[in-house]
Amino acid sequence: MIVLLGFALLAGAGTALSPCVLPVLPALLSAGGVGGRRRPLGIVLGLSVTFTVTIVGLASVVDGVGLGSDPLRVVAIAVLLAFGLALLLPALTARLEAPLSRLARFGPRSSGDGFLSGLLVGGALGFVYTPCASPILAAVISVSAASGRTFVIALAYAAGSALVLLVLTLGGRRLFDRVRKAGRGPALQRALGTIMIVTAVAIATNLDVNFDQFVAQHIPDVNLTAALECSGTVTGRLHEITGHQPKFAPANGSATCGGSASSVRTAAVGASQATLLAAAHGLPALGAAPEFMQTQQWFNTPGRHPLKLSGLRGRVVLVDFWTYTCINCIRTLPYLKAWDAAYRRDGLQIVGVETPEFAFERDAGNVANAIAQFGLRYPVVQDNAMGTWNAYGNQYWPADYLIDAHGQVRYVAFGEGDYDKTETAIRALLAETGSSVAGRGHPRGVIVPSQQATPETYLGTARAQGWLSPPKSGIDDYGAASSGALPLNEFAYSGKWNISSQPAEAVAGAGIDVEFQAKNVYLVLSSPGERPLPVRVLLDGRPIPAADAGADVHSGVVTVSRQRLYTLASLARTERHHLSLRFAPGVTGYAFTFG
């Protein structure tokens, strides 16, 4: 516990020095630069209280600690606008301070005005500062608002941030005092009021969110707490508090900070039983595998009855976390199908855990259609509440957990690749049960991802990156389609769109242009009520030729009905091209992937 408290304190201090605090900093310094000497303390205290209450008290309501442009941000905007106007208009300042001053008898009695108003401004800024919280803290505090230990960890994190922010605020105040002594007090007050109003406008127009996305995209190593977050000591203790951290990290690294398959030497096709048993001996016992938790519909089981791991003792079980619109998951399915066909009779049981990324992936009908489309014969279960995902402490699509006949997790693999190692581990654990296994499963229809492909991106505001003009929440007109060439890996909206955190819905004259480098292009799409709607596909300004068109494109048009991943382009090799899409009103897009 002491280790985690120290980590939280240092991580909070590091967060206060990271770029994500920059959108808050102008308002913080401006509010602390006026009023009495206790006002900076009030501001930092208010920010810390709001921050702590938000990340603990609302953890069960919001997704992690990212509040986006929700009502809490509206509160922050209103408060910043009010106090910005108060600084610009002295008469308004007096009216604002009058009712607050009557409450002073409940607060500090020493000299210094503005402490209570500072609490109010700081409290509003806390709502905007909250998304700065690091990923590990988010996992720690999202478990339960009622946990005393959770509250202490969040409080330590807030204290670390508060100390640094207080130093910054006091330093800015000293600078402002020098300006006032030079006889420029009124001008300074007006300037600080303007800064607060501009900050409120920036938050209202999501400029702070866009800034965070820019930093994440162009300065990937900016996280000052990364070394702490990836510390073996810290990550090893997190499970004691949360139960949601990776429980089965590979031997060569922590899953939180990016892991890979355990070290396994690929066994030859005709490997002897002794060789496979030796390989099994080298697979460590990583812990007891959790049961399937909070699941919904089961598929490909007798009578669609649920399976239990305890009922699968004696068999080797491969738990595969996937979702049916994830191209990385889709590319692993041929291997899973081949292993199921090759080793089921030898004692292998594959269970696909379909944990949704998008809301529509929770629909049992959509999942059933995907299972039929991909030809999956092994059991699949819906994990809409992420109960099984959290029980395993999983963080990746796809992710494979290989469980031996005694219920122990023995091997973990994240992402694509390492198929030979995974199959060797399967054969090794089957040999351990006494099965005589030879040969390998031979997958068909495998799509090999390109290492030079354009990075994936999302159409909604939550995780959009690579857009020439970042998408905005709500209905907006993005103008005419780009007539010139875009920079490589850049995306551009055109026409009118209705964009939210996840999907983007075409309204009128809607289009997307992208300069990509890949062999294959995929896009998750849907239409209202599964009504067929067209999307025109152009490659380098012309209708895409049949030889380059994806499986879902016919005569240069994709007909969108069911909510799924659509293949737009399938080129002969990885190449650079300009892709233009023109959407019928009502079509909704979610995410691009390339391979």
Domain ranges of the chain: 2-226, 246-432, 457-594
Task: Kindly give, in sequence order, each residue whose CB lies less than 8 Å from that of residue 270, ignoring residues fewer than 6 positions away.
Answer: 438, 439
Q: Is 89 helix (H, G, I), strand (E, B) or coil?
A: coil
- Tens-digit pLDDT profile for residues 276-315: 887 887 888 888 899 998 889 999 999 889 989 889 898 9
User: What is residue 130's predicted lDDT score, i.e. its pLDDT?
Assistant: 59
pLDDT at 493 over 90: yes
CA gyration radius for the chain?
A: 28
Chain segment 132-148, per-residue pLDDT in tens:
554 445 444 443 333 44
List C-alpha distances in Å: 54 to 69, 131, 397, 405, 581: 15, 10, 29, 44, 41
The CA-to-CA distance between both ends of the chain, in Å, stands at: 44
118: number of CA atoms within 13 Å, CB side?
28
Tell whether the torsion through CA atoms of 259, 350, 365 and 308 is positive or negative: negative
Between CA 248 and CA 287 the distance in angstroms is: 7
CA atoms in the 13 A half-sphere facing the CB of 541: 5
> What is the rounded average pLDDT for all residues in the chain?
76
* More reliable by pLDDT, 36 or 353: 353
Distance CA 164, CA 16 (A): 6
CATH number listed for the domain at residues 457-594:
2.60.120.260
Contact in structure between 209 and 461 (CB atoms under 8 Å): yes
In the CATH hierarchy, which fold is given to the domain comprising 246-432?
A: Glutaredoxin (3.40.30)
How does pLDDT run across 144-162, given as a tens digit for each residue?
333 445 567 677 777 877 7
List the single range of 16-25, 88-97, 134-143 with lowest mean pLDDT: 134-143
Q: Convert 360-385 into a string of H (helix), E (strand) and C (coil).
A: HHHCHHHHHHHHHHHCCCCCEEECCC
Question: pLDDT, tens digit, for every residue of 392-449?
Answer: 888 888 899 999 999 999 999 888 878 888 998 998 899 888 888 877 777 766 666 6
Q: What pLDDT sits at residue 213?
A: 44
Mean pLDDT throughout 31-36?
70
For residue 488, CA distances in Å to 126, 550, 576, 593 come to 38, 21, 8, 15
The H-or-E segment that residue 505 falls in is: strand 504-526
